Each structure stands twice: as C-alpha cells, then as structure tokens.
C-alpha cells in the first residue's frame, strides 16, 4: 500500500485552526483582539476500484488534518473495505500555494465496488453522519453485532473524560470541536482525534487503526465527547 501524506504548510496558521479578529468586552470596555476558531472545510473522497474509474463517493464537512485516516475510516465504517490490505494507494492532496488544503483524498482499491450503493446524493454536514443518505436502506447498519467488551472498573471509567479533555490540544485553543479517544482497559489513552464533527473524529480514529492493521479493538474503549442535546417541538 502506498500512502502519500499531505504536504507541510509553510504558513504559520495551522490547517485545523483559523485566526480571526473579534470584539471582546472586558469590564465594560470593547477591545479588538485575535482569536482562534476551529476550521471547517469540505473534503471530497474519491475511490477507484480495480478496472474502474475514480468515483466521488462523498463530500463531508470536516476539520482539516488526518484526511487520509478520515477517508479510510469512512470507507471502513460504510463497509466498503475490511482491512488495509484492500487499499492499493492513498493520495491526500497537499496544500495550495496560499497554504490552504486542497480538500481531496483519492483511494485506490485492490477490488471493484458498487459505487451506486455507497454514493451519497448530497454532502454530509459535520453534525450528522447520515446526512445525504438517499434511502432508509442506506441508513441500516450492515455489520456484525458488537461483541461483549472488557469489564472496566468504575474508578477507571470516571477518569476517562478528564484524560480525553486534557489531551485535546485544538479544543484548548478554540473551544469548538469534538474528540474521540481510544483507551486501554487501564485507562491509558492510546490515541485521540479531533474534528468539528463527532462522527468525523471517530472515522479518523478508526482509519488510523485500520491503516495500522488494528481493525480488531475488542479489548479497548472508545470515548467520544458530548454536548447537551436539544429537541424540537
């Protein structure tokens, strides 16, 4: 498998954050200052099966960074691949001359696939993992039931959110994005990914594990950040 990583930017502004000017009110005074916002840009995922042309299978809104992992995680969770051995090459396009990402990941597979089954009618927003699905059948989960996991001590369980939060470097500067964390049974953080979309953060983490040849994680714990939900009446 060939993995072509994104190029490194010469810009002082990281891809996953955007600097902007804001008005801050302090003790009745209005001040001009700079602030960091979590970036959100579209990512197009293109896939080529054996003997097939490249097909655009999805456009999702995400925070730039770890785009090759996001693409692989998306294909894995959608059931198009089951292991890294099915991937011939991944090309995560580099940066434009202005330092901004090109927002395209191309994946070549060792087998052909049914593009009509996977392709979404619209782009997927960062807030919803099923946006753009064309039918109820496409929403159905096509995977084995989750097997019994490890028994976790309560003393370990209660420490996980704090550990996850303390490791969120981009959230620390922006306060505006989700995280997914993979832990072992002792409560040690194995890996973490951040994104404005919670499902994107999970796909990035899944993609990282698939590329590392670790698609079976039955002895690990997945923790995702949350927020207070809302309901419409």
Catalytic residue annotation: 128
Structure tokens belonging to residue 87: 């991937």
**For residue 5, what are the β-bridge partners?**
none
Cα 43 to Cα 106: distance, rounded to the nearest angstrom: 11
DSSP code per residue over 177-192? -EEEEEE-TTS-EEEE
Asked if 199 and 76 count as a contact pair (C-beta separation under 8 A), the reply is: no
Q: What are φ and ψ of residue 23, in 5° steps?
A: -100, 120
| SS3 at position 116 | helix
Q: What are φ and ψ of residue 118, in 5° steps?
A: -95, -30
């Amino acid at each position: 498998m060939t993995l072509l990583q994104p190029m490194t930017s010469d810009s002082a502004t990281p891809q996953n954050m955007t600097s902007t000017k804001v008005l801050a009110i302090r003790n009745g005074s209005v001040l001009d200052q700079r602030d960091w916002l979590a970036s959100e840009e579209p990512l197009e995922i293109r896939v080529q099966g054996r003997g097939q042309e490249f097909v655009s299978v999805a456009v999702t809104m995400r925070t730039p960074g770890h785009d090759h992992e996001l693409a692989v995680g998306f294909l894995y969770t959608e059931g198009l691949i089951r292991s890294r051995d099915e991937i011939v090459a991944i090309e995560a396009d580099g940066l434009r001359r202005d330092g901004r990402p090109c927002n395209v990941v191309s994946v070549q597979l060792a087998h052909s696939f049914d593009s009509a089954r996977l392709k979404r009618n619209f782009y997927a927003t960062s807030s919803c993992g099923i946006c753009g699905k064309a039918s109820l059948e496409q929403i159905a989960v096509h995977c084995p039931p989750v097997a019994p996991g490890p028994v976790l001590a309560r003393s370990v369980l209660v420490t996980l959110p704090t550990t996850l939060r303390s490791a969120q470097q981009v959230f620390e500067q922006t306060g505006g994005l989700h995280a997914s964390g993979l832990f072992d049974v002792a409560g040690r953080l194995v890996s973490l990914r951040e994104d404005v979309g919670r499902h994107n953060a999970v796909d990035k983490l899944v993609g990282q594990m698939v590329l590392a040849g670790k698609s079976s994680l039955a002895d690990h714990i997945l923790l995702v950040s949350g927020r207070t939900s809302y309901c419409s009446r």
